A and B are shown apart, each in its own frame.
Chain A
Amino acid sequence: MDREFAYSYNDYVKYGNGYKDMNPISKLTISVCLGIASCIVHRWQFGVALCIIGTLAAIYTRIFKKYIKSLLVIAVPLLLLTSCIRQLQYAHLEGNQPIFKILGWQWYDQPFIASMDIAWYIIGFSSVLLVYFMNTEMKDLMLALENRGVTHVASYIMLSSIQSIIDMKKSADTILESQKARGIETDGNIIVRMKAFFPTLGPILLSAMSGTEEKAIAMDARAFSHEGGHTYLRVLRPIPWWEYILDAIAILVLVGSIVYQVMKTVGAL
């Protein structure tokens, strides 16, 4: 028995990284406020700045490889698609200045900037959310929410739903493997895969449903519905003052972006 590990539960939840150790709700507040601000400002410069912040956070928390892979999956198609659509949509806009040609296709400045504005606010938002979810355990988020008054029932539903998805995927893999062992074709083009996959849905759903009943009994046996004080083995550290300041700055940025957009709309800017 690793006693050091067992007694580590006496301490607050610690990951040894400034960002990871932040309270999940503080991190979420910052990510969501900045993300929404990016949507409201709707300028590529803001999106790029947000993306840089996200990337730096990813480097700091050592998830850069995983992060950049996911971000590129979002960013590359988005940049290409919005650029092409905007060029086709606004090619004949008054005041358009040609910027470059691709295979004889003339691209103009205004549609290009408009496409960058759209693509980068989404990329910026995605960037901070990716960093958040790649660095935050759902159980920590739920624990933080429970500390703020969310019931342990709601928390359990949320966490067990996530686990159910993982379990269902495992069941699907097992069924597909056993089908393969019986000589049924499960690999190949999309139609072959779909033909193999759809018949497995029935057994997967039925086993998940029957498992739910026993899981409810198992949780009942663990005094899940016991009324009265609930204690926690894992305890999040108290929120330090500087996290409140960071939250306040993020909220200020959001409010500032709203003010900026309103003033811009009424023509004050």
Chain B
Amino acid sequence: MAFIELKNVSYKYPYTKDFALHDLSCSFEKGKFYGIIGENGGGKTTLCNLIRGLIPHFYLGKLTGECLIEGKDIREWDTAELSSKIGYVFQNPFTQISGIKSTVFEEVAIGLENLGVPKDEMIERVIDVCNQLDIGHLIKNNPNELSGGQRQRVAFASIIAMDTDTLVIDEPTSQLDPEGTENVFKIINTLKHSNKTIILVEHKIDLIAEFCDEILVMENGTVAFSGPAHEVLTKRELLEHKASIPEVARFGLAMEDAGKPLERVPVTLDEAYKLIKERGR
């Protein structure tokens, strides 16, 4: 059974005319890594808000259809209960810092304090997560005085420390440099291997191609395409739908158009390298 299931969901934010989500149906299984891509205004963040229960509990508006988390309708979930099941990291790093803690170490521990985790365990978990996210050198700093990228990593760390089964991550790398981005993806991938469900909204398509199991392409508030990453990212139709595809996939399709197709259209650099190498033999 799907862990999260959406059936014909439509949603309109308060005081707006247009639906942000329109007749959307999709499902998410446990332990998989989902990438959500699509143009701006396509409903990606709204979908995250819905899965995390902010819709309809925080953003009122008009919600129709069914959104089931572990078989229970989102309207029946208590947001506090959901927060211990689904972690949420969002885009803006400046509002993700609590503003009440004076060191990064305390900031990362805030969720654990709220969950009532014993102090010994809390300290170990925070040390572990700070090492994972390479923010160990920042633990004494005041989180209110960090740069955007550092704040984003601290916010991410405080959610990872909570050790929720599912993580909804909305553009976590928007403030990070390429190295920081790569590191975050590696961490997300590690989380995936610890059987967590990851739902990631991201524009960096090459990284999505490398790490995600399944992909959802959002357009006009609904899912335009979905399926295994390789299958979705090699669809020619994606190009018509203004969604970006990896450069290597574009190359693979161009090779097909030129009548010199590779064995299959690659989506990652490694895959392209292997395919070209095989063809050269």
A229 to B84, CA, bound (A): 13
Determine if A6 and B126 form an interchain contact, defined as CB atoms under 8 angstroms apart.
yes
In-complex Cβ contact of A232 among B87, B95, B100, B119 (8 A)? B119
User: Do B89 and A3 touch (CB < 8 A)?
Assistant: no
Q: Is B80 an interface residue (CB 8 A)?
A: yes
CB distance from B151 to the nearest CB of A (A): 11
Chain A interface category by residue count: 35 or more
Q: Residue of B at shortest CB range from A7?
A: B123
- Chain B residues near A217: list those with CB within 8 A: 54, 58, 88, 90
Whether B118 sits at the interface, judged by CB under 8 Å, is yes
Complex formed: what's the CA distance from A215 to B110 in Å? 14
A221 touches B89 (CB 8 A): yes
Q: Which residue of A lies closest to B107 (CB)?
A: A222
Question: If A218-B98, A220-B79 touch, does A10 touch B155 (CB 8 Å cutoff)?
Answer: no
- Whether B140 lies near A159 (C-beta < 8 A) is no
Known contacts A214-B92, A226-B83; A163/B144 CB under 8 A: yes
- The verdict on B244 contacting chain A, using a C-beta distance below 8 Å, is no
Identity of the chain B residue whose Cβ is nearest the Cβ of A158 in the assembled complex: B100
A139 contacts partner chain B, Cβ-Cβ < 8 Å: yes
Q: A residues 148-169 with Cβ under 8 Å of B?
A: 152, 156, 159-160, 163-164, 166-167
Tell me if A5 and B84 are in contact (CB < 8 A): no
Flag whether A225 is at the interface (Cβ < 8 A): yes
Stretch of B130-138, B199-207, B254-262 that contacts chain A: B130-138
Contact with B along A202-245 (1 / 0, CB 8 A): 00000000010011111111111111111111110000000000
| Count of B interface residues, CB-CB < 8 Å | 51
- What is the CA–CA distance of A216 and B54 in the complex, to the nearest angstrom? 11
Q: Closest residue to A166 on the B side, CB-wise?
A: B144
Verify B119–A225 contact, CB threshold 8 A: no
| Interface residue B252 (Cβ < 8 Å from any Cβ of A) | no
B22-68 residues at the A interface, CB under 8 angstroms: 52, 54, 58
Contact B102 A139 (CB under 8 A): yes
Distance (whole angstroms) from the CB of B214 to the closest CB of chain A: 23
Q: How far is the CB of B112 from chain A (nearest CB, A)?
A: 7
B117 to chain A: closest residue by CB: A231
Q: Which residues of B contact A163 (CB under 8 A)?
A: 99-100, 144
Q: Are B99 and A229 closer than 8 Å at their CB atoms?
A: no
* Known contacts A221-B87, A222-B111, A226-B115: A234-B95 contact under CB 8 Å: no
Given contacts A1-B130, A6-B139, A163-B100, contact A218 B123 (CB under 8 A): no
The reply on B194 being an interface residue by CB < 8 A is no
**Closest 5 interchain pairs by CB?**
A1-B136, A229-B116, A214-B95, A163-B99, A222-B111
What are 19 inter-chain pairs, A to B, with CB distance below 8 A? A159-B99, A160-B99, A163-B99, A163-B144, A164-B99, A166-B144, A167-B99, A167-B144, A211-B95, A218-B90, A218-B95, A218-B97, A220-B58, A221-B89, A222-B110, A223-B80, A226-B115, A233-B105, A233-B106
List 20 extra interface pairs beyond A1-B137, A231-B119, CB under 8 A: A1-B131, A2-B136, A5-B105, A5-B140, A10-B119, A139-B102, A160-B99, A163-B144, A215-B99, A217-B90, A223-B162, A224-B83, A226-B83, A226-B115, A230-B113, A231-B116, A231-B122, A232-B113, A233-B113, A233-B122
